[in-house]
Amino acid sequence: MKKVARVALRGDSILTSPRFNKGTAFTPQERTAFGINARLPYRVNTLDEQCQRAYDQLQVRKEPIRKNTFLHSLKDQNWVLYYALLSRHLRELVPIIYTPTQAEAIANYSHLFRRSEGLYLTFANYDTMEEDFLEEVRGREIDLIVCSDAEAILGIGDQGVGISTAKSAIYTLIGGIDPSRTLPVMLDVGTNNPDLLKDPLYVGWPHERVTGEDYDKFLDKFMQLVRKYFPHSLLHFEDFGLKNAHRLLQKYRPTHAVFNDDIQGTGAVALAGVMAAAGVTRSKLSEQRIIVFGAGTAGLGITTQLRDAMVSIDGISVEEANKRFFLIDRYGLLKESLAAKGLVRKEVTEYVRPDAEWPNHEGDVSLLDVVRQVRPTMLIGCSMQAGAFTESVVRAMAEGTDRPIIFPLSNPGRLVEVDPQDATNWTNGRALLATGSPFPQTSLPGNVEGKKKVVAECNNALVYPGLGFGAMISKSRIMTDTMIIAGAERLASLSPALRDPDDGLLPDFEHAPGVNFEVAVAVAEQAVEEGSAGVNWTKEEVRQRAHELVWKPEYPAYVYDPEGESE
């Protein structure tokens, strides 16, 4: 049965509302009821016909950034058409609205700016923050808030101001979250980007970044507003800098459902890939010896997620799990002597190795040194150092384990630590691979039949929309580690490699919506089971409830009602 919506808007108001506009898809009855009969051409189009027209218009634009701006314009006009078009061309268009093209759009945000979207909270207007917040959200129900201070945009760094619309769009497109219940928020605390500060068209606050106590007061006031008005919402931290990302996540996790994709999303999808690889090798997580090359936000997020899963799933202590990891940054292996020199960040101190383990290395311990001594089962790269996993490193690893698990996760692809084809060749086809960017299948050495090996893509969008949707529908008070692990386990269970080791360790991205639904169900089931949910459901009810709450890009039938919805 077609859904019916009661709408209070008429005339230009409904045609200019992206939430309610149907364009040429308004039926004759709706055109009369809403006073738009003469505002539209005669022919009534189906949604499929509208998608074909929009796709044809999109194809005229050759450069990715022009496609990006066209799609943003379409979103400003008609949400259903925008998401329906994307869903029909998922693999082709997600890179246009998201990574990598969105980075270019954000870098040129001030020069491409046409229409505001979401909420801009600026440090200069600290005293009126609550009034500004309420002007945007009054009368609305919000399930998801995506906030950013734009300090660490992937690949381009500090961009000062640029609303987080792409992330919330992915939540809707792949996670099934109603776009009317999402709120992108820009927390403008200034910028240290000199090009922006001297740009006369820069639309943000032209001031150096606020730091320290002032920054914390600003963030805390925002968090108090979220907790006060939307206590059951999920707050997604996006593109925060290294000094703030972990700190803010840990500060607010105990009091609200908060999530950081750069840390937890990256960790969850990597965990799923690792669990799938462990399934192929028929080993436990806690049996792995893991080198993490690159101990920044992503590397630490992955390490912590894997460590917590070892504790939760295999039942070992945190201290024992920490011993399974060897973290390497620009100074080499993180060990006690580095910490004594102040060269180890506070967040990674629990993974520091004793100097006594390295009696023959008084100075820095290189990646190759660690591989030769540790004989790792797993090598994870988050370093942004192209080619760091050299032939010597990979061959040394292959000598120490039957099925080397190699995850060069740096992206874009030009920064990958090792090309998957090289890793396949240097391990004689034995490597289990996953990358942070899409790569073609690799050829197996000496395979006269031409069989290929699928390279899995550790794309966060395979998991974070489902993690978020599961937390939202269960109205969880906090996003627990066990909820994230449950989602990662469900994703790992869908691994094609469990049926054929030469297939991908993770599902193909074209299956992302269905995969994320399964992740969401697992997360909500865990929330219900452990008592962190805010709904009175049984675990057995979760799947049906989730089906009922998925938003789909379809036009409902409209009935004019002056008391109905108006945005």
pLDDT for 161 equals: 82
User: Could you tell me the CATH number of the domain that includes residue 182?
Assistant: 3.40.50.10380
Instruction: Report the C-alpha gap between 140 and 143 in whole angstroms.
Output: 10
Q: Do the domain assignments include residue 566?
A: no
Q: What is the pLDDT of residues 164-180, one digit of tens each?
A: 788 899 999 999 999 99
Do residue 176 and residue 312 come from a single domain?
Answer: no
Q: Encode 163-177: b = buried (16+ Cβ within 10 Å), e = exposed.
A: bbbbbbbbbbbbbbb
Q: Which helix (H) or strand (E) holds 55?
A: helix 47-60
pLDDT band at 63 (very low <50, low <70, confident <90, very high): very high
CA atoms within 13 A of residue 206's CA, in its CB half-sphere: 11
Based on the fold, state whether residues 419 and 474 are members of the same structural domain.
no
Examine the pLDDT at 530 and tell me if it is beyond 60.
yes
Task: Name the band, by pLDDT with cuts 50, 70 and 90, for residue 359.
Answer: confident
Q: Which residue has the tokens 């100074």?
A: 331
CATH number for the domain including 452? 3.40.50.720
Instruction: State pLDDT tens for residues 41-61.
Output: 999 999 999 999 999 999 999
* 258-312 residue pLDDT tens: 999 888 998 999 999 999 999 999 999 999 999 999 998 889 989 999 999 999 9
Shared domain check, 252 and 138? yes
pLDDT band with cut points at 50, 70 and 90 for residue 107? confident
Computed over every residue of the chain, the mean pLDDT equals: 93
* Residue 139, token pair as written in the block: 């009368």
Does pLDDT of 420 surpass 70?
yes
The mean pLDDT of 17-45, rounded to a whole number, is 97
| 199 and 245 belong to one structural domain | yes
261 is in an annotated binding site: no
Percent of the chain with pLDDT over 90: 80
Residues 343, 384, single domain; the answer is yes
Whether 536 shows a pLDDT value over 70: the answer reads: yes
Residue 106, domain member (yes or no): yes
- What is the residue-wise DSSP string for 352-410? PBPGGG-TT-SS---HHHHHHHH--SEEEE-S--TT-S-HHHHHHHHHH-SS-EEEE--
Q: What is the pLDDT of residue 285?
A: 95
- Residues 425, 327 share a domain: yes
**Does residue 155 have a pLDDT over 90?**
no
Q: Encode pLDDT of 422-455 as tens digits.
A: 999 999 999 999 999 889 999 988 765 678 899 9
| 561 located within any domain | no
Same domain for 447 and 524: no
Q: What is the pLDDT of residues 124-142, one digit of tens each?
A: 999 999 999 999 999 899 9
CATH code of residue 74: 1.20.1370.30
Mention every residue, 6+ apart, whose C-beta is less than 8 A from residue 248: 219, 237, 240, 258, 260
Which of the four pLDDT bands, split at 50, 70 and 90, describes residue 182?
very high
Give the pLDDT score at 531.
93
pLDDT of residue 133: 96
> Please, how many CA atoms are within 13 Å of residue 524, restricted to the half-sphere of its CB?
30
pLDDT for the residue 448:
55
pLDDT at 342: 85
Tell me what percent of the residues of the chain surpass a pLDDT of 70. Answer: 99
DSSP state of 259: E
Please state which of the ranges 315-329, 350-364, 389-403, 537-551 shows the lowest mean pLDDT: 350-364
Question: Which of 418, 433, 459 delimits the end of a domain?
Answer: 459
Q: Which of 444, 459, 474 is the last residue of a domain?
A: 459
The label of the residue with tokens 């259903």 reads 80
For the cut 90, the answer to whether the pLDDT of residue 343 exceeds it is no
Shared domain for 445 and 310, answered yes or no, is yes
pLDDT per position as a tens digit, 85-94 = 999 999 999 9
- The answer to whether residues 90 and 167 belong to one domain is no
Span 192-235, pLDDT tens digits: 999 999 999 999 999 999 999 999 999 999 999 999 999 999 99
Residue 426 domain-assigned?
yes
Domain shared by 472 and 452, yes or no: no
**The last residue of a domain, from among 75, 98, 121:** 98
Q: Which domain holds residue 447?
A: 264-459
Is 459 annotated in some ligand binding site? yes
**Is 12 annotated among the ligand-binding residues?**
no
What residues are annotated to the active site? 98, 167
pLDDT band at 98 (very low <50, low <70, confident <90, very high): confident
Cα 467 from Cα 457, distance rounded (Å): 18
Task: Say if residue 468 is in the same domain as residue 353.
Answer: no
Overall average pLDDT of the 548-561 stretch: 96
Q: For residue 291, what is the enclosing H or E element?
A: strand 290-293
The number of distinct structural domains making up the chain is 4
Residues 232 and 321: their CA atoms lie apart, in Å, by: 33
Q: What is the pLDDT of residue 489?
A: 96
Q: How confident is the model at residue 163 (pLDDT cuts 50, 70, 90)?
A: low
Rounded to 5 degrees, φ, ψ at 210 are -75, 140
Give tens-digit pLDDT for 475-517. 998 999 999 999 999 999 999 999 999 999 999 999 999 999 9
Token code pair at residue 121: 């909270």
**pLDDT tens, 139-154?**
899 999 999 998 987 6
